[in-house]
Amino acid sequence: MFKKALFLILLVSALAFAGYMAFINYVPYSTGIRSGELIKISKKGTVFKTWEGEMSQGISGAQIFKFSVMQSDAAVLEKLQNLQGHYVVVGYEEKYRTFKWWGDTRYFIKSVKEEKSPFKVK
CATH of the domain at 66: 2.40.50.140
The percentage of the chain sitting over the pLDDT mark of 70, rounded to a whole number, equals: 95
State residue 122's pLDDT score.
Answer: 59
The answer to whether residue 44 sits within a structural domain is yes
Inter-CA distances, 113 with 89, 91, 98, Å: 5, 9, 25
Predicted pLDDT at 61: 63
Domain coverage including residue 95: 28-114
Q: How many CB atoms lie within 10 A of CB 106?
A: 19
In a domain, 11, yes or no: no
Q: Residue 7 falls within a domain, yes or no?
A: no
Q: Specify the DSSP element, H or E, that contains 55.
A: strand 50-56
90, pLDDT greater than 70: yes
Average pLDDT over residues 88-114: 93
104 belongs to a structural domain: yes
Please check the confidence at residue 74 and state whether its pLDDT lies above 80: yes
Assess whether pLDDT exceeds 80 at residue 35: yes
**Distances in whole angstroms, Cα of residue 9 to Cα of each of 17, 23, 40, 56:** 12, 21, 47, 49
Residue 12 lies in a domain: no
